[in-house]
Every structure is written in C-alpha cells, then in structure tokens.
C-alpha cells in the first residue's frame, strides 16, 4: 500500500498558476519553489529567512528539542536521565555512535580518550607566544586549529578509522589545551594530564594542580563538572553547530571545523550569556533591589539575562538539572550570596504575569555562571568550559553532515538589493559629498577605537 503524500497548494497571483509542493516530515523543500516562475527566463522563487529562524538545513538523528514542552533528548534519551545516570564520556559515545555503550565499549572508549590527552610539546611553545592577557577562548580557537598541522592524516576525512582517531584526539586534547590556556593567562607552569583521573577530574588537575605530587579532585566538584559537560554536549542546530557543519561541508579537516565552531561560541550572544547573568546579579546587588530591577525590565530600561531562549518557550530542562547540581557544589564551596539573589529573582519573575505571558523562563545560563564562579573558574573560562562540553556534539554534527548524501558544500542564496549596473566615475568627477562621507566615517572609527600601546 503506497504512502499518501501530503502537499501544499501554492497559487502565484502574478500568473494565476497553481503548484503542488510535497510536504514531508512537516517541511517543504525550498528548492521546490524554484519552479514558480513568471516566465522561462525567471530564476524562480526563493525563500527568505534571515538567521535561518524557520529553515531546516539538514536532517538529523542526534538531538531532539521541543521548545514549547521544554524537552531535550540526545538520541532519544531525556537529558534528565543522562545527567543523573551517565558520565560525560558515556554521553559523548552515545552522541557519536547513536547508542549507549556496553561496559566493554565504554571501557575501551574511556581508555582511548585518556591516552590521547597529551599534546605535542611544540603546542606549549605556540601558546607561550600569546600575550599574558590573551583571552583563553582566543588561545583555544588558535590552538585547536593549529592541531591540524600536527596531524596531517586528519585531512583523510573519508577514512572511517582516521575519522574516529581525530574525534578521539579532539575530545581528549581540548581539555589539555583549555588547561594550558588558563595556566598561561595566570603565569603558572603547565600541568600535564594524569591518566589515573576521570575526564572531568583530569581537567580540574590541569587547571588547579600546584606543588602537590598528585592532584586529588573533590568528588562532588568532579561530578558536578561532569554533569555540566553533559548538559552542554549538544543542542541541535545552534550557531556553533551550524558553523561546524558549514566549514565541514567544504571537506575541511575536523580540527579546522572545530576551530570555527569555537570561534562562533566565542561570541557573547552564544557562549557569553552566563557572564551577562553574573554582571546583572552584581548590578542588582541585593534582594531588596529586585522589585526595582523588575520594574526597570518591564519599562525596557534593563534586560533580564538568563531568561528566555530562542528555542525554549518553557522551562529549559537543563536549568532544572543545574538547580540540583548547585546544591552539590555549594556544599563544598560554601554558600554564594549571588545564588540567593538568583533564586529570589527567579521566584519573583516566575510569579509575575509579565514574564509568564511572554514565556520567559530560566535557561541553562542562569545558574551555570554562579556555579562556575563558586568552583573557582574565572569569567574568561566560562565559554571554554562550554566548548569542552560541546565538542562531542560538534563532532557528531560534523560526521553526520559528512555522511549525509543530500548535503553539499554550504552556499546560501541572497536577495541582491543593491545598485543595477552603473558607469564608473573617474576620481576627478566624484563629488565632494562622497569625500566628506568617507572622512566622516573615518573620523567616527578613529573616535570609537581607543588608543592602545604598542606591544
């Protein structure tokens, strides 16, 4: 029995002609609109979707999100179950392989990751070349991209065995590069990986080891960080995943694609949201100031950071998990006045019709900054922690795109709205107004850029 195909009927009012467009998986193909033309010389109709707010660029089996219901699943498993019952490396295996590992598969996977954490000694020299106040994310972007020059076999992306090797290398070495970036920024000697420790524990070792012969991470902080990595592991077609897929579509090596994804995450609208939450809480200052702040938010004078999400129109399921992790962390680090402030701000906002009607609920960034700060991480390291957790998801997205026969090199169309062809104007005939405009723009740029000392 043949499957009934749903269609969309489109009538072009310019010509009066109607077209049947197939609907599959709740979507229509943008290319099907190309056949809607005014005449034979017409290029055909295009869809216009700035920032891809309603365009699916791929088919994916990795992550499912229902923003209205507040659901997040990796390969079908609810994020709450994975955060409670799995380890980060187990979740990384799930994202990449499609299934949870057996006991032996997990042991082999963990052993592979553990024994690929070392980086070439020249990488340390590379990081040493950065200025002392270089941002750790800038160093991470550069050093991850530089790994492609150390592993020329990474270019053989069609070889499954070599592809897996690069995946292992990236998940293993990003913690080392992250730790080295931090240690360089504070002037500490680099701490080598310790193969006896867990993935999260080893990262804490490379961050905080001082003069002790062996660093012993606090088990509560180690577990909390592992859960935070799980919560960040993937999130569908976000800005950085889109960058990973787009660069990967040119068949670039995964180190270069991952560097592009990290660069996308470096942007404050993506990886810097939890820092904005901390600044907001510090600006509020005390619980007594919350009503005034809420009133300013309603008047459009302030922004409520950490609330609302491009995808979620309900309580972010990751935020619920983080609430319990916060308790685990603060048992070790002691209470944080910012946490009390955040919880009261959340309580007031969630009881206010203004925020309820706009479906503004806490997202994952509302509490992570407070937790990271309590654990001792400087603000500059927040997006680095995000990148560590997201690496398996980026790699799963990259490999899925690479193996998808429908995918081609990413090349969006544009709607050109500039000049039609016009004659070239010689310098002698150009008006003074054009020169004045150029001078004005140059003056504004010079005024906006503060003078910096030469280094």
The pTM assigned to this predicted structure is: 0.88
- Kindly write down the DSSP assignment for every residue of 212-260, as one continuous string: SSS----HHHHHHHHHHHHHHS--SS-HHHHHHHHHHTTT--HHHHHHH
- Judged against a pLDDT cut of 70, whether residue 454 lies above it is answered with no
pLDDT attached to residue 396:
98
418 within some domain: no
Give dist(CA 39, CA 362) in Å, integer: 51
* Whole-angstrom distance, CA of residue 217 vs CA of residue 201: 6
Checking if the pLDDT of 334 tops 80, the result is yes
> Quick one: 78 and 50 in the same domain?
no
Backbone phi and psi for residue 146, each to the nearest 5 degrees, phi listed first: -65, -25
Asked whether residue 365 is assigned to any structural domain, the reply reads no
Closest by Cα among 223, 123, 239 to 181? 123
pLDDT > 90 in the chain, percent: 72
Say if residue 216 is in the same domain as residue 160. Answer: yes
Q: How many CB atoms lie within 10 A of CB 378?
A: 13
- Cβ-contact 374, 330 below 8 angstroms: yes
189 contact partners, CB below 8 Å, separation of at least 6: 183
Question: Residue 166 is part of a domain; what is its CATH number?
Answer: 1.10.580.10
> Each residue of 184-219: pLDDT tens digit?
999 999 999 999 999 999 999 999 999 999 999 999
404-452 pLDDT per residue, tens: 999 999 999 999 999 999 999 999 988 765 555 566 666 676 666 555 5
Confirm whether 424 is domain-assigned: no
Res 2 pLDDT > 90 = no
Alpha helices in 102-218 (DSSP H): 103-114, 121-128, 136-150, 160-186, 199-208
Please indicate whether residue 365 is annotated as part of the active site: yes
Instruction: Select which of 234, 253, 316, 365 is catalytic.
Output: 365
Residue 274: CB atoms within 10 Å: 25
Q: Could you tell me which residue, 418 or 336, shows the higher pLDDT?
A: 418
**Tokens encoding 245:** 């897929």
Active-site annotation holder among 120, 309, 316, 340: 309
**Are 97 and 222 within one domain?**
yes
For the CA atoms of 86, 89, 91, 94, the dihedral, rounded to the nearest 10 degrees, stands at -130
Which conformational region is residue 424 in: left (phi greater than 0), alpha (psi within -120 to 50 degrees), or beta?
beta
β-bridge partners, 77: 74
* Cα separation, 142 vs 70, whole angstroms: 36
Q: Would you say residue 79 lies in a domain?
A: yes
| 100 and 213 share one domain | yes
pLDDT digits (tens, 9 = 90+) for 369-380: 889 989 999 999
Domain end position, chosen among 56, 76, 94 = 56
Distance of CA 17 to the CA centre of its chain: 44
Q: Are 32 and 109 in the same domain? A: no
pLDDT above 50: residue 296: yes
Q: Into how many domains does the chain fold?
A: 2
Give the pair of three-digit tokens for residue 29.
């193909």
* Mean per-residue pLDDT, 307-322: 77
Distance, CA of 87 to CA of 264 (rounded, Å): 26
- Residue-wise burial string across 222-253, b where 16 or more C-beta atoms lie within 10 A, e elsewhere: bbbbbbbbbbbbbbbbbbbbbbbbbbbbeebb
pLDDT per residue as tens digits for the range 246-272: 999 999 999 999 999 999 999 988 887
Q: What count of residues does the chain have?
A: 455
Residue 245 belongs to a domain: yes
23-65: per-residue pLDDT in tens?
Answer: 999 999 999 999 999 999 999 999 999 999 899 999 999 999 9
Question: In what helix (H) or strand (E) does residue 11 lie, and over which residues does it extend?
Answer: strand 6-11
Q: Which residues contact 183 (CB under 8 A, 6 or more apart)?
A: 189, 190, 191, 206, 207
246 and 127 in one domain? yes
For residue 312, name the pLDDT band (cuts at 50, 70, 90).
low
Do 132 and 247 belong together in one domain? yes
254/234 same-domain check: yes
Cβ within 8 Å of residue 356, ≥6 positions away: 350
Q: How far from 395 is each of 102, 127, 253, CA to CA, in Å?
A: 21, 24, 11
> Above 90 in pLDDT, residue 358?
no
Q: Report if residue 317 sits inside a domain.
A: no
Mark whether 23 and 92 lie in a shared domain: no
Query: In the prediction, which pLDDT does 438 show?
Result: 60
- Helix residue spans in 233-336 (DSSP H): 239-248, 254-266, 273-284, 290-298, 317-333
pLDDT one-digit tens code per residue, 129-158: 999 899 999 999 999 999 999 999 999 999
Domain that includes residue 243, residue range: 64-272+371-403
Say whether 309 is catalytic: yes
Q: Are residues 79 and 162 in the same domain?
A: yes
Residues 133 and 190 grouped into a single domain: yes
Mean pLDDT, the chain, integer:
91
The predicted-structure confidence for 83-126, as pLDDT tens digits, reads as follows 999 999 999 999 999 999 999 999 999 999 999 999 999 999 99
Q: Do 84 and 18 fall into the same domain?
A: no
């Amino acid at each position: 029995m043949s499957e009934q195909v749903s269609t969309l009927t489109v009538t072009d009012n310019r010509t009066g002609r109607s077209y049947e467009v197939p609907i599959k998986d709740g979507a229509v193909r943008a290319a099907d609109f190309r056949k809607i033309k005014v005449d034979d010389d017409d290029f055909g109709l295009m869809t216009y979707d700035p920032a891809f707010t309603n365009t699916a660029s791929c088919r994916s089996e990795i992550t499912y999100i229902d923003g209205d219901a507040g659901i997040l699943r990796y390969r079908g498993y609810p994020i709450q179950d994975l955060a409670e019952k799995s380890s980060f490396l187990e979740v990384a295996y799930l994202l990449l392989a499609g299934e949870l590992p057996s006991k032996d598969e997990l042991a082999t996977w963990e052993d592979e990751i553990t024994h690929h954490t070392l980086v070439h000694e020249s990488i340390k020299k590379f990081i040493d070349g950065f200025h002392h106040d270089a941002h750790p994310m800038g160093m991470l972007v550069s050093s991850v991209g530089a790994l492609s020059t150390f592993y020329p076999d990474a270019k053989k992306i069609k070889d499954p065995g070599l592809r897996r090797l690069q995946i292992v290398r990236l998940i293993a070495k990003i913690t080392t590069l992250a730790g080295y970036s931090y240690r360089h920024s504070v002037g500490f000697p680099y701490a080598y990986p310790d193969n006896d420790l867990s993935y999260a524990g080893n990262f804490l070792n490379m961050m905080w080891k001082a003069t002790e012969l062996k660093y012993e991470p606090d088990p509560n902080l180690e577990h909390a960080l592992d859960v935070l990595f799980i919560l960040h592991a993937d999130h569908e077609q976000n800005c950085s995943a889109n960058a990973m897929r787009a660069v990967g579509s040119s068949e670039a090596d995964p180190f270069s694609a991952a560097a592009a994804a990290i660069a996308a995450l470096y942007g404050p609208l993506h990886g810097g949201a939890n820092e904005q939450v901390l600044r907001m809480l510090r600006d509020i200052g005390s619980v007594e100031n919350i009503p005034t702040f809420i009133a300013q938010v309603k008047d459009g004078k302030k922004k409520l950071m950490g609330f609302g999400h491009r995808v979620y129109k309900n309580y972010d399921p990751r935020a619920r998990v983080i609430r319990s992790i916060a308790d685990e962390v603060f048992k070790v680090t002691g209470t944080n006045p910012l946490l009390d402030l955040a919880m009261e701000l959340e309580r007031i906002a969630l009881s206010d019709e203004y925020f309820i009607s706009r479906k503004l609920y806490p997202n994952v960034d509302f509490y992570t900054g407070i937790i990271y700060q309590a654990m001792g991480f400087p603000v500059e390291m927040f997006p680095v922690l995000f990148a560590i957790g997201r690496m398996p998801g980026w790699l799963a997205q990259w490999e899925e795109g690479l193996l998808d026969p429908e995918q081609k090199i990413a090349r969006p169309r544009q709607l050109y709205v500039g000049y039609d062809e016009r004659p070239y104007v010689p310098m002698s005939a150009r008006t003074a107004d054009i020169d004045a405009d150029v001078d004005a723009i140059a003056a504004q740029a010079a005024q906006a850029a503060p003078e910096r000392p030469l280094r």
